């Protein structure tokens, strides 16, 4: 008599499922990609520190630097996207495909909101940068460029979310095959960390410019 076969969800804990060999290789590549991006952003932060020191260290007044208030909303928005994608990964592991779908759709909608919020902050920075003053020495130039660079990387994150949406339409994800969801979550977590570090650097620049 053959033993009773239970559904996978009961026969084996979702945490116990082994990662597919192909996905393990992809995850290694993903970490190499994220580490290379981290090196790039760390280099940018060193350049920004030098930029601030040179600007503030010169004789004469420096135009006061202010962080747009919308950047705080942008931070909350980015964290919310990461939370949604973290929940999406957990839902995929537990084979909760409805939760997986909902969290990815919400994350995609929040990504659109990000660009709306960020556009307000960039517009405020441009307005402050172009204010007529006796000196053109201010801290907005490179700051604006760094915000743009981060936003361009967010575009890559949005492309990943669009890819996930197409995958959802094809029912491409389950408890074994969900690496695209995991990588998208990893990428957005990385964007969160980078943005928070940048925001702290901007805050420090704002303090020393006064």
pLDDT of residue 206: 82
Average pLDDT over residues 111-137: 79
pLDDT of residue 17: 44
Q: Is residue 17 part of a domain?
A: no
- Residue that has been written with the tokens 């996978």 in this structure: 8
pLDDT of residue 62: 65
152: nearest Cα among 122, 179, 130: 122
Q: Is residue 139 part of a domain?
A: yes
Range of the domain at 165: 22-208
The pTM score is 0.83
Mean per-residue pLDDT of the chain: 83
What does the DSSP assignment read for 23-66?
HHHHHHHHHHHHHHHHHHHHHHHHHHHHHHHHHHHSSS------
CATH of residue 63:
1.20.120.80
137: nearest Cα among 47, 65, 48, 50: 65
Contact 82, 154 (CB under 8 A): no
* Total domains present in the chain: 1
pLDDT in tens, 56-98: 766 556 667 788 888 999 999 999 999 999 999 999 999 899 9
pLDDT in tens, 13-52: 444 344 556 667 788 888 999 999 999 999 999 999 888 8
Q: Which two tokens stand for residue 207?
A: 């303090």
Q: What is the chain's percent helix, strand, coil content, to nearest 5?
A: 75, 0, 25
Q: Is residue 7 part of a domain?
A: no
Rounded CA-CA distance 89/99 in Å is 10
Average pLDDT over residues 176-182: 89
Q: Which two tokens stand for residue 3?
A: 């033993």
């Amino acid at each position: 008599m053959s033993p009773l076969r239970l559904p996978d969800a009961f026969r084996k804990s979702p945490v116990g499922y082994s990662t597919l060999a192909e996905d393990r290789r992809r995850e290694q590549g993903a970490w190499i990609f994220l580490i290379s991006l981290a090196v790039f952003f760390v280099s940018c932060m060193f350049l920004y520190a030098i930029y601030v020191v040179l600007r503030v260290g010169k004789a004469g007044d420096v135009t006061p630097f202010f962080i747009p208030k919308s950047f705080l909303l942008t931070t909350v928005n980015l964290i919310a996207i990461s939370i949604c994608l973290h929940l999406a990964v957990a839902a995929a592991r537990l084979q909760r495909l409805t939760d997986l779908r909902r969290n990815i759709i919400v994350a995609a909608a929040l990504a659109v909101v990000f660009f709306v919020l960020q556009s307000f902050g960039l517009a405020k920075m441009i307005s402050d940068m172009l204010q007529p003053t006796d000196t053109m020495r201010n801290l907005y130039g490179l700051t604006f460029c760094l915000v743009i660079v981060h936003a361009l990387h967010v575009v890559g994150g949005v492309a990943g979310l669009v890819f996930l949406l197409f995958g959802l339409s094809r029912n491409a994800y389950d408890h074994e095959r969900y690496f695209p969801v995991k990588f998208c979550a990893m990428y957005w977590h990385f964007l969160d960390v980078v943005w928070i570090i940048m925001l702290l650097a901007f805050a420090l620049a704002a303090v020393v410019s006064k």
